[in-house]
Structure 1
Amino acid sequence: MLIKVLSIILVFGTLVFFHELGHLLFAKRAGILCREFAIGMGPKLFSFVKGETRYTLRLLPIGGFVRMAGEDPEVIEINRGQDVGLEFDHKGKIARIILTDIRNYPKAHVMTVEHADLERELVIRGTEDGQDVFYPVHPQAMVVSQNQETQIAPFDRQFGSKTVGQRAAAIFAGPLFNFILAFILLTVMGLAYGVPVDRPMIGQLVPNGSAAAAGLMEGDQVLSINGKPISRWTDMVSVVSGSPGRPLAFTIKRDGMTLEKRVVPVKDPQSQTGKIGVYQPLSKSLTGAASYGAKTTYDFSKLIYTSLGKLFTGQVPVKDLSGPVGIFNYTAKAAENGFVILLQWTAALSVNLGIVNLLPLPALDGGRLVFLGVEAVRGRPVDPQKEGMVHFLGFAFLMLLILVVTWNDIQKFF
């Protein structure tokens, strides 16, 4: 049970981490201030600050987020007539602005604010001893309130200040990194365990199988069977499977010599086809593994798109969908079947997460990309309140759908 739980946590943690890492890296590359990088939802379990970003692990393993400055209204507000404490850097710019409990900061310079702009002008004006004064604010200044520090977000560090292309890249990067993760996992699996190749070679032999009994050895190159030239592994499989119980004359090449071996395929009781107890040859080259990773990622993508199409056209009923409970259950079963199966399942889930997030639905990355596309065509953004309402309704619909599929899972598995 412990192995299952750890596998579920590891799989989902990895999927969410890579998805949010894509958002984080491309947002930072665009110069957007990223306030928090979170794995999980709900109460904080652990957090630390590195650079400008707080990295957080949260209680519920059902997602994550990157909180970018400007996506939500900035909450830092300094009112006219308010007393604030100021601390300066070595260049005379404001490095910290203390809003509460100023007496706890005896070194802070206290002034009464007349005007403060922390987004564009980066200046605080006020009065001291009846004199008007102003101080420049450092673009990375911290605001202290209720013992909590928050970095200011000048407009050029906010999400909305960036070009449509930069914002689209920051959003698209999340699903993109899920495809990259799938490719990496499948490539590593190919390197570690080998990738089947379509060459007329004898792979690993089954002990006491027909091939082993006939004297075939791993690495033998099959030139022909019963005089018929063999150029691919699939050619050999076709001849062998169609000849159960009939002797076959294998012409092979071994260490530069041409040899003849007589092999009699055994009839498989289930498939009624011939078997000689030989596995397909494997390659552990980097190029072969990378090719396998790319092709399998594409195959997973194609399969998921086809399944989604059947869902939207009604060919697949909603009752057949699985939610978090079902995915947890399948992940536990994958862990039971070994590390290779778990790797494949994780890669498939990663592709699925990437594709689902790209669907043009509100509250998903795809929905946000649609609004950016509309902005690019119109030349101006959609009203933030209207966009926010659409995303809210979309999120509510998604939560309802999750409840429905969770109920399906409970009936299915319990």
Structure 2
Amino acid sequence: MLKVLAIILVFGLLVFIHELGHLLLAKRAGILCREFAIGMGPKLFSFVKGETRYTLRLLPIGGFVRMAGEDPEVIEIQKGQDAGLEFDSEGRVKRIILTGIRNHPSATVITVEEADLERALTIRGTEDGQEVVYRVHPQAMLLHQNQETQIAPYNRQFGSKTVGQRAAAIFAGPLANFILAFVLLTLLGLFYGVPVDKPLIGKTIPGQPAAKAGLVQGDRVISIGDKPTNNWKDIVEAVSKSPGRELKFIVERNGEQFSTIVTPAKEQNTGKIGVFSPTSKSVIGAAKYGAVTTYDFSMLIYNMLGQLFTGKVPVKELSGPVGIFNYTYKAAENGLGILIQWAAALSVNLGIMNLLPLPALDGGRLVFIGVEAVRGRPIDPQKEGMVHFLGFAFLMLLILVVTWNDIQRFF
């Protein structure tokens, strides 16, 4: 049960941080964010805070921030429609009631002639045979079928913002994943220590060859066999190549040298003696480890993507949600340190995959914003929407393919 909980927490954290990046930069730009969702599909739980509804959904395959103006407004006030109006202390409309007007006896009822809720923020109509015009509060609510929706003036919509503001709101999601990876790896370095490339023995595992031979943490390995050891890599290389063979270790401890025989155990044709690499603990070292390892993870993923696109790695080798869940479960079995490292790698992967210039991904949306910046005007929203829809359909098909690969591989 704890391992399943670990999977939920890891995926929840990665998606939460990604969407939080979008949310924070969108709100900073003044964009109305209608919903912040973790997961897809039917709602399991939701609450409203400020202008945003925070939602937990059933399917753990992502999340989203629904920004005003990205999709057509679902509620339109038609000419000739009756509407109930409630006002604030300044006489501005703060609530527009479209259904169930009789349940609000204090509301002023008008027959709508025109409602401009984007730019002029006015509603015009007739009341008792007289034409009236009312100002609308920029945060007025629409009540329709027992659901309240805040209006979105044009200056609160995604499309009203500058190219830079929109690009920042989109790029912030992947960037948040890179920052998360750096933070996780830095914390890993602080709590568990940062590997150092010295010929030292780290922690030993009781009952394993190194412990049986009398080696302890802090011992400096001078040589193995007749070959001097200058760093940790030399120790690993000598041990891994000698499964089942006796090795003479010359070791220095407290300024004195002695020799001992260590026989590496055989694990999958590789020698193991049951020691961890030496580590050091410092804030600067941990931060450097976090930055370097985040970069290394990024380069590894970019190289794998390059091999995928060139055909060196077949599509059947890709893993989808099932495979990632399985690997996360195995990471949880190997302890908190391994799980944190795996979560950091997944976070980098999520950031890079979202930056790919494919429709429906953050990278694809950034491409459209970049084209707009070059040509000086936006692309037709309907055409862009169609491209993103087709891209989303392709991604869903790809997920189905890799999920089938995972099922065949693991089951």
Structure 1 residue 123, shift from structure 2 partner: 0.9
Structure 1 residue 360, shift from structure 2 partner: 0.6
Check conservation: 2:209, 2:265, Cα contact below 8 A: no
Aligned to 1:281: 278
CA distance in 1, matches of 2:404, 2:272: 45
Shifted more, 198-207 versus 48-57: the winner is 198-207
Structure 1 residue 112, shift from structure 2 partner: 2.2
CA distance in 1, matches of 2:407, 2:235: 47
Aligned to 1:300: 297
Change (3 A) 1:411 1:96: same
CA distance in 2, matches of 1:307, 1:279: 28
Aligned to 1:76: 75
Letter of the aligned partner of 1:98 in structure 2?
Answer: I
Change (3 A) 1:214 1:116: closer
CA distance in 1, matches of 2:210, 2:287: 31
SS in 2 for 1:322: coil
Aligned to 1:374: 371
Change (3 A) 1:43 1:245: closer
Aligned to 2:389: 392
Say whether 1:261 aligns with 2:257.
yes
Long gaps (5+) in structure 1: none
SS in 2 for 1:58: strand
Aligned to 1:125: 124
SS in 2 for 1:78: coil
Check conservation: 1:214, 1:261, Cα contact below 8 A: no
Change (3 A) 1:102 1:22: same
Structure 1 residue 4, shift from structure 2 partner: 3.5
Shifted more, 232-241 versus 167-176: the winner is 232-241
Change (3 A) 1:232 1:362: same
Residue of structure 2 aligned with 1:338, choices 331, 335, 338: 335
CA distance in 1, matches of 2:207, 2:74: 74
Structure 1 residue 281, shift from structure 2 partner: 2.8
Deviation sequence 1:140-173 (CA, Å, 0-9, x none) = 0001111110000000000000011111111111
SS in 1 for 2:118: coil
SS in 2 for 1:264: strand
Measured on the aligned residues, the alpha-carbon RMSD in Å equals 3.0
Change (3 A) 1:116 1:179: same
Letter of the aligned partner of 2:80 in structure 1?
Answer: G
Equivalent residues in 2 for 1:184-203, closer than 5 Å: 184-199=183-198, 203=202
Structure 1 residue 128, shift from structure 2 partner: 2.7
Check conservation: 1:111, 1:127, Cα contact below 8 A: yes
- Identity rate, percent: 75
CA distance in 1, matches of 2:37, 2:239: 55
Long gaps (5+) in structure 2: none
Equivalent residues in 2 for 1:154-169, closer than 5 Å: 154-169=153-168
CA distance in 2, matches of 1:342, 1:336: 8
CA distance in 1, matches of 2:5, 2:181: 20
Structure 1 residue 405, shift from structure 2 partner: 1.3
Structure 1 residue 121, shift from structure 2 partner: 0.3
CA distance in 2, matches of 1:403, 1:110: 52
Check conservation: 2:356, 2:364, Cα contact below 8 A: yes
SS in 1 for 2:378: coil
Check conservation: 1:210, 1:264, Cα contact below 8 A: no
Deviation sequence 1:358-391 (CA, Å, 0-9, x none) = 1111111111111111000000011111111111
Check conservation: 2:213, 2:261, Cα contact below 8 A: no
Change (3 A) 1:165 1:209: same
CA distance in 1, matches of 2:284, 2:109: 65
Aligned length: 407
SS in 1 for 2:299: helix
Structure 1 residue 337, shift from structure 2 partner: 2.1
Aligned to 1:361: 358
CA distance in 1, matches of 2:209, 2:258: 10
Aligned to 2:317: 320
Letter of the aligned partner of 2:384 in structure 1?
Answer: E
Change (3 A) 1:240 1:361: closer
SS in 2 for 1:141: strand
Change (3 A) 1:81 1:56: same
Check conservation: 1:245, 1:264, Cα contact below 8 A: no
Aligned to 1:49: 48
Shifted more, 239-248 versus 129-138: the winner is 239-248
CA distance in 2, matches of 1:100, 1:208: 75
Structure 1 residue 53, shift from structure 2 partner: 0.2
Q: TM-score, normalised by structure 1?
A: 0.88
CA distance in 2, matches of 1:198, 1:88: 70
Change (3 A) 1:212 1:326: closer
Check conservation: 1:334, 1:345, Cα contact below 8 A: yes
Aligned to 1:310: 307
Check conservation: 1:249, 1:260, Cα contact below 8 A: no
Deviation sequence 1:190-210 (CA, Å, 0-9, x none) = 222111123465544566899
CA distance in 2, matches of 1:213, 1:5: 36
Change (3 A) 1:311 1:206: closer
SS in 1 for 2:31: coil
SS in 2 for 1:140: strand
Letter of the aligned partner of 1:399 in structure 2?
Answer: M
CA distance in 1, matches of 2:43, 2:151: 23
Aligned to 1:349: 346
